[in-house]
């Protein structure tokens, strides 16, 4: 059974363009590539979001990845997105690089 999967990259900045126009952009943060299947539901999305915001991928102390989005008080901001079904150009500047994959079939913290 397929499940919702996210590939997460820590970036210093990223943009998403459709037909040459930027439709989403961020500064330092997380770029999430999300795959959703027909069988995925709201419970899968809720679990995945809760997992992503707790990933310790940011440095609080130099050289130690010991802070998460949850720790940064950056939650609650609008989330820039691409355009479903469109060809998108993604320009990402990896910070690290830090790249992780999270799958809802692996529901352990």
Question: What confidence tens digit (pLDDT) does each residue in 42-85 have?
Answer: 999 999 999 999 999 998 877 788 899 888 787 778 888 889 88
Distance CA 109, CA 28 (A): 24
Domain that holds residue 85: 5-102
User: Hey, how many other C-beta atoms are within 10 angstroms of the C-beta on 60?
Assistant: 12
Domain count, the chain: 1
pLDDT digits (tens, 9 = 90+) for 7-50: 999 999 999 999 999 999 999 999 999 998 888 889 999 999 99
CATH number of the structural domain spanning residue 72: 3.50.80.10
Residue 58 CA to residue 95 CA, distance in Å, equals 10
Is residue 91 one of the residues assigned to a domain? yes
| Confidence (pTM) | 0.85
Q: Is residue 107 situated within a structural domain?
A: no
Task: Compute the distance between CA of residue 85 and CA of residue 72 in angstroms, rounded to an integer.
Answer: 32
């Amino acid at each position: 059974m397929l499940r919702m999967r996210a590939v997460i990259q820590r970036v210093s900045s990223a943009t998403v363009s459709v037909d040459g126009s930027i439709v989403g952009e961020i500064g330092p943060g997380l770029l999430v590539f999300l795959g959703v299947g027909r069988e995925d539901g709201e419970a899968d999305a809720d679990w995945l979001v809760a997992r992503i915001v707790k990933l310790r991928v940011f440095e609080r102390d130099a050289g130690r990845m010991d802070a998460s989005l949850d720790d940064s008080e950056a939650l609650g901001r609008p989330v820039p997105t691409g355009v479903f079904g469109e060809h998108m150009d993604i320009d990402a500047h990896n910070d690290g690089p830090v790249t992780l994959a999270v799958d809802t079939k692996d529901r352990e913290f």
